[in-house]
Structure formats: structure tokens, C-alpha cells
Amino acid sequence: MTRVFCIGELLIDFVAENQGSNLSKAMNFTKKAGGAPANVACAIAKLGGKSSFIGCVGKDSFGSFLLDVLKNEGVDISMAQRSNIFTTLAFVSIAEDGERDFVFNRGADEQLKYDSSIKTEFKKNILHFGAATALLGGPLEKAYGHYLFDGLCNESFIAFDPNFRSDLWGDDEATFTKKCMPYIEKSHLCKFSLEEALLLSGKDTVEEACAFLHEIGAEIITVTLGKEGTFVSTKTLQKTVPSIAVSAVDTTGAGDAFIGCLLYQISLLPSIEALLNDDQALLKMVEKANKAGAITTTKFGAIVALPSLTQLEA
Ligand code: ATP
């Protein structure tokens, strides 16, 4: 089994209770561990895989809480860093009109320093870049670039999920797109939402978007489509793999559960290269990953809702 190194942010999500008002009216908040790459690391560990988290939290109690959550899920946190700057905090509420009200206090996640001493660990393993905050600048963005290069030198399998958040990028979609391109170019596997695939390609349909993104360099592309399942594209295949029917209550983290489950299955392969030429094996894996995404929607929260292998195979 290969190890999956998930690089990026780990932060506190303060979710307003009594949704239906904006943050100015919200009085009580629930503290939750958040951050897409960290969720993916948890998804892999919960299925029994080997995952390590590479990211930075503050030397405060919130940072300790976050690292404990990951450790309790079985994620290796030995490569996580701690900064004197406070742990990154996000506050979110859904107002009456359904609009998200979001306040983002960026702190320690941005401070991840590149550590060249860990690059030997990457050899023939999997590197997952779940970029949500990573391309916003600072040391983390620089570290991202170095780790991408290390992964390539170490014959790692590279996975990329841009995790576009309009809350973070506003209307600067052009910069976001430009910054994603090197990752798409070098990735064996890209996971996009439909919105991301269309945004990054500038195309109107998922088929055209994937064709364009393959041209950039992505070898396998999965485009998650919520309850419709996942569109899978390689140079020899374009197909939608349906999901299972569930009673969804909260879709937070479904995408992370999906890519986590897919990477977990890839980590079990004796030869990762073989996957790149086996569309049928890939479709079976996506079917299972869809199930992981679907199960995650049946409970509130991201990490607590991630399925174990027993739940997945039930
Ligand atoms: P995120 O919000 O974490 O970025 P995303 O938009 O990439 O996620 P989704 O498309 O919501 O992810 O979900 C990922 C996968 O989970 C889907 O491709 C699908 O297989 C499964 N899934 C999500 N929602 C449902 C649902 N309501 N019913 C069944 N399956 C679902």
C-alpha cells in the first residue's frame, strides 16, 4: 500500500447555529475541523489507508484541537507544522435568502514552510494537492510549487483538486485559473466540480472541458456532479458513472470523501501506472468513490460523516 500525502490547509470552521440569518445576527457557532486536504487525509485513514497531512496550524488551542482530530482519525501528523500566528478561522452562516455569509481570518495555514527533508518519503507514493487556500499566496503557495516539483522527481502519483471558493477569490477567476494550470499539467488525476471544469477550461460542456484539460496535461479527470454521480474522462473514455440514491442532509465534504476514497483505492494498486491504461478498473473505483461521497451526505458535518470500509462495503 502506498502512502497518500495530503498538502494544504487545516482550519476551524465556525458554523452558525440557527441558520437563516447572516453573521451579524448569528449568536452561537459550532466549532468544526475544516480544510479540504485535511478532510481527504481523514477519508483515506478512515478507510484503512495510509495518509499524512502536510500543513500548518497555530501554536494555540485551536491548532491543538485540529491536530487531535486528524490524529484520532488515524492520519499521520508528523509532518504538520505549527506557527506563532493564530490558527486560520472561517465563520459561515446561510442567510434567509440562501446566500452564504462568510468571514475568513487567514492565519497559520498560509505559513507552511517548504521542508526539503521529507521529499525522499514521496518516492513512488501519492501526493494530493487540494488547493482551496494554497494558491492564494504566501509561503504555502511557494511550498506547493516545491512539493509539486519533488513529487515529479520522485515518480509520485500526482492528484489535484482546485477546490475553487468564490468566497476566497471573488471575481479574480483569471488569476485562480492561471495558478491552477501547472498542477493540471502535471497531474495524473484531477478532480473537479462541474463549475470548476467549465471555469478552468472556458468551455461550455463537460466533454469539451475535459478534452481541453487533457490537452493541458491531466491524464485522468473526474468531474463530480452531486447526486448525478461523476463524469470520468481519460484519453480513451468519457462516461458518467451514476451515484447511489440516498437521503442527503448535508453535502459538505462529499467531494473530499469521493477523492479520498478514489485515492485510497489507487494506493492499494501494485502498480499505479497500470491504472492509467485500464479504464474499466477506473470506472469500478469511481463507482465505489461515488458511494463514499453519497454516504457522507447522509450525516451533518464532513469528517464525522466519512464512511469506514465496513460501511462502504455494506
Ligand atoms: P465539495 O462541495 O466537497 O467541493 P463536490 O461539489 O466536488 O464537493 P459533490 O458533487 O457534491 O462534490 O459530491 C461528490 C460525489 O458524491 C458525487 O460525484 C456523487 O457521486 C456523490 N454525491 C454527492 N451528493 C450526492 C447525493 N445527493 N446523492 C448521491 N450521491 C451524491
Residue 164 Cα to ligand 1 midpoint, Å, equals 15
Give the residues surrounding ligand 1 with Cβ less than 6 Å away. Answer: 193, 224-227, 229-230, 243, 246, 248, 251, 253-256, 258, 290, 293-294, 297
3 state SS of 60: coil
CA atoms within 13 A on the CB side of 307: 26
Residue 226 Cα to ligand 1 midpoint, Å, equals 4
Q: Which residue has the cell 486536504?
A: 37
Which mutation among 243, 246, 247 tests ligand 1's pocket best, with the greatest number of atoms within 8 A of CB?
Answer: 243
Residue closest via CA to ligand 1's atom 27 equals 227
Q: What is the pLDDT of residue 21?
A: 80
Query: In this structure, is residue 97 part of a structural domain?
Result: no
Cβ contact 4:44 at 8 Å: yes
CATH number of residue 41's parent domain: 3.40.1190.20
| Distance in angstroms (rounded) separating the CA atoms of residues 127 and 179 | 18
Q: What is the pLDDT of residue 314?
A: 86
Q: What is the pLDDT of residue 151?
A: 94
Residue 295 Cα to ligand 1 midpoint, Å, equals 10
Query: In this structure, is residue 23 part of a structural domain?
Result: no
Which mutation among 42, 195, 251 tests ligand 1's pocket best, with the greatest number of atoms within 8 A of CB?
Answer: 251
Query: In this structure, is residue 104 part of a structural domain?
Result: no
Query: In this structure, is residue 66 part of a structural domain?
Result: no
Q: What is the pLDDT of residue 275?
A: 82
| Distance in angstroms (rounded) separating the CA atoms of residues 293 and 259 | 8
Q: What is the pLDDT of residue 111?
A: 97
Residue closest via CA to ligand 1's atom 5 equals 255
In this structure, the strands spanning 11-16 and 29-34 are: antiparallel
Number of neighbours of residue 153 by Cβ within 10 angstroms = 11
Residue 172 Cα to ligand 1 midpoint, Å, equals 25
CA-36 nearest atom, ligand 1: 3
Q: Report CA 137 to chain centroid distance, whole Å.
A: 18
3 state SS of 23: coil
Backbone angles phi, psi at 40, to 5 degrees: -65, -40
Q: What is the mean pLDDT of each run of 10 residues along the chain (314 residues)?
A: 96 88 90 96 98 98 98 98 97 80 94 96 95 92 97 95 92 95 97 97 98 97 97 96 93 94 96 83 97 93 91 92
Residue 9 Cα to ligand 1 midpoint, Å, equals 21
Query: In this structure, is residue 15 part of a structural domain?
Result: no
Q: Which three cell numbers mark 32? A: 468544526
Residue 249 Cα to ligand 1 midpoint, Å, equals 12
Domain assignment of residue 239, given as a range: 3-9+36-59+74-80+109-305
Query: In this structure, is residue 313 part of a structural domain?
Result: no
Q: Is 81 exposed, middle or buried (0-12, 13-18, 19+ CB in 10 A)?
A: middle
Q: In the chain, how many domains are there?
A: 1
Residue 20 Cα to ligand 1 midpoint, Å, equals 23
Query: In this structure, is residue 125 part of a structural domain?
Result: yes
Query: In this structure, is residue 296 part of a structural domain?
Result: yes
| Distance in angstroms (rounded) separating the CA atoms of residues 140 and 232 | 30
